[in-house]
Amino acid sequence: MTGEVAGVTRYVDTTLAQYSDTDRQYTGEAVAFDARPASFILRAAGLIIDVIATYAVLALLIWGLSAVSRGLDQAAVVALQTVVTVLMFVVAPMLVETLSHGRSLGKLAIGARIVRDDGGAEQLRHAFVRSLVGAIEIYLTFGGIAAITGLLSPRAKRMGDLLAGTYSQLQRMPRAPRPGPPLPAHLAGWAALADVAALPSALSRRIAEFLRHAETLTPDARARVATELAREASGFVAPLPNTDALSFLVAVAAMRRDREYAALMGERARLDTVHGALTAVPPGFPRRAD
């Protein structure tokens, strides 16, 4: 059971690591915003889709050229094939990413788009650099350079991203977590008198993750983890209820959730009382036309 408990701990730590400051970006005003870069596996999957689509369209164009160029000499045919190749491998990806604001067929499939390092939208010059370098690192080297740079880069950047100052940002957000369990009925009397202080953020997230996945654990592992978390949370609760560790954690999480919700609703009510004064036009001040 010790190995299973360690596995649960590693799972919780991995989940929380997704929200670390290493993936956080900052605007010019030093305001942080959440930005999750696409992983190397997702980028590889999207790139494979784009390459397959490119070769499929290229094959159709070459087949069409072979049908209309029968009366042309060999030099004209070679020139047309060169133009088509350049259009497909350089111009077409540049136009697709520019017009779709960093999207392509593969990126739509994995739920990502190309953005600048500062989080801004990709421009024509960024798409041109990515397409020009991509023709070399993806098609001429069969993806070898792109794979090496993607594995070595913290945000899975390929060479074109490093030169253009861009990266692939995930746009598909995870589903909202299910609401936590309600307060146990046998602890309702205790909850009316108990004082549950604000828990540290790390401990609060660990309890929430444990309660979300408690049903998937074996009874022994669930009891061990619940006992450990209850021991850490007991210093923030007075008086302690006479109940099992799992019910105690459910009650603590439910009380903190309900009290934080009540505090937010109270703040909204106070703001509503002064909304008229904040939005009213001072006496004698000219009104702007809507």
Mean pLDDT to the nearest integer, 133-139:
93
Mean pLDDT for the chain overall: 83
In angstroms, the CA 69 to CA 80 distance is 9
Structure tokens at 130: 């990515």
Domain count for the chain = 2
In angstroms, the CA 34 to CA 213 distance is 25
Asked if 162 and 195 sit in the same domain, the reply is: no
Asked if 55 and 153 sit in the same domain, the reply is: yes
From 145, 170, 195, the end of a domain falls on: 170
Tokens 């400051």 identify what position?
Answer: 21
pLDDT value for 222: 92
Whether residue 33 is predicted with pLDDT greater than 60 in this model: the reply is no
What is the dihedral sign for C-alpha 76, 82, 83, 88? Answer: positive
Q: What is the pLDDT of residues 181-225, one digit of tens each?
A: 888 889 989 988 888 888 898 998 899 889 988 888 899 999 999
pLDDT value for 225: 93
Which burial class, exposed, middle or buried, applies to 248 when counting CB atoms under 10 A from its CB (0-12, 13-18, 19+)?
Answer: buried
Q: How far is CA 224 from the centre of its chain?
A: 32
Domain that holds residue 208: 185-277
Asked if 206 and 148 sit in the same domain, the reply is: no
If one counts every other C-beta atom within 10 angstroms of the C-beta of residue 59, the result is 10
Asked if 45 and 157 sit in the same domain, the reply is: yes
Whether residue 20 is predicted with pLDDT greater than 50 in this model: the reply is no
32-34 and 24-26 as β-strands: parallel, antiparallel, unpaired? antiparallel
From 137, 170, 203, the end of a domain falls on: 170
54 located within any domain: yes
166-170 and 112-116 as β-strands: parallel, antiparallel, unpaired? antiparallel
DSSP helix/strand/coil, 33: strand
21 located within any domain: no
* 131 contact partners, CB below 8 Å, separation of at least 6: 89, 90, 91, 93, 94, 97, 160
Q: What is the pLDDT of residues 107-126, one digit of tens each?
A: 999 999 999 998 888 999 99
Asked if 241 and 190 sit in the same domain, the reply is: yes
pTM: 0.56
First to last CA, the chain: 67
Mean pLDDT to the nearest integer, 134-163:
92
Asked if 163 and 261 sit in the same domain, the reply is: no
pLDDT band, very low/low/confident/very high, at 131 (cuts 50, 70, 90): very high
In angstroms, the CA 232 to CA 214 distance is 17
pLDDT value for 192: 87
Mean pLDDT to the nearest integer, 237-251:
92
Asked if 123 and 85 sit in the same domain, the reply is: yes
